Amino acid sequence: MAVLKIPFLKDSKDIDLQEISQKLLKTGTRLQINKINWSEFSHHLETNVFCGYTENHLWLFYSVKGDYIRAEGKIDQDPVYQDSCVEFFIQVDNEYRNFEFNCLGVCLSAIGPDRNSRRKLEPENLSRIIRFPSLNSKNQPLEGSQADWTLTVGIPLDLIQLTPGSAFNCNFYKCGDKTKIPHFITWAPINVPAPDYHRPEFFGNLELSPMK
């Protein structure tokens, strides 16, 4: 898979999340999360992620169409992969970091060399991750009902050891283990017999464009 470049978005003094989201839609690198790797989980949802970065953050804007909503996770490190969920896994040296978000922006994150030797992201660092979901406790659809949703995420660059010009390996996912129709969709394909996102050997390649 060719290396795709993520554009630099000029920082403003105060982060306007609406503005960042619109910039990502207009000028961010669009990746389609559309690979069905396991035939027994063939449910497809139109899911895109638009990527960009500023001086201090990697920004991801997820857009999901027609999801059967589930949002049981309410506190960071809850098992949000069981909900209406989008994910970002990134290789950091010999370890990889997972960032998993349900449609309310609740985050699960850990790091380690493999699935069996991982440590959770500390609460003080979890709190640094910016979340801007279109859904919240007041407008959340009924569980199991179908709805579109978006989520803007800002991950501090120092948390994932990236600087302008950095190349890195990663993958993006859409899943919902306990949604009305369980599904496991990826950006970069994964060639294993059963759903398994903890496979850094199948990560694709991205690069932060130089700052201008």
- Contact criterion met (CB below 8 Å) for 68 and 152: no
Burial of 67 (0-12, 13-18, 19+ CB in 10 A): buried
CB atoms within 10 A of CB 42: 10
The domains found in the chain, sorted by start residue, are 4-9+19-208 (2.60.40.1190)
- Contact criterion met (CB below 8 Å) for 24 and 51: yes
14's CB contacts (< 8 A; 6+ apart) are: none
Point out which residues pair with 112 in neighbouring strands. 96
What global pTM score does this model have?
0.96
- The residue type at 198: H
- Contact criterion met (CB below 8 Å) for 47 and 86: yes
| Amino acid 143: pLDDT | 92
- Contact criterion met (CB below 8 Å) for 146 and 66: yes
Mind listing the pLDDT tens digit of every residue in the chain (212 residues)?
567 899 999 766 677 899 999 999 999 999 999 999 999 999 999 999 999 999 999 999 999 999 999 999 999 999 999 999 999 999 988 899 999 999 999 999 999 999 889 999 999 999 999 999 999 989 999 999 999 999 999 999 999 999 999 999 999 999 999 999 999 999 999 999 999 999 999 999 999 999 87
User: What CA–CA distances, in Å, run from 106 to 8, 68, 75?
Assistant: 26, 17, 6
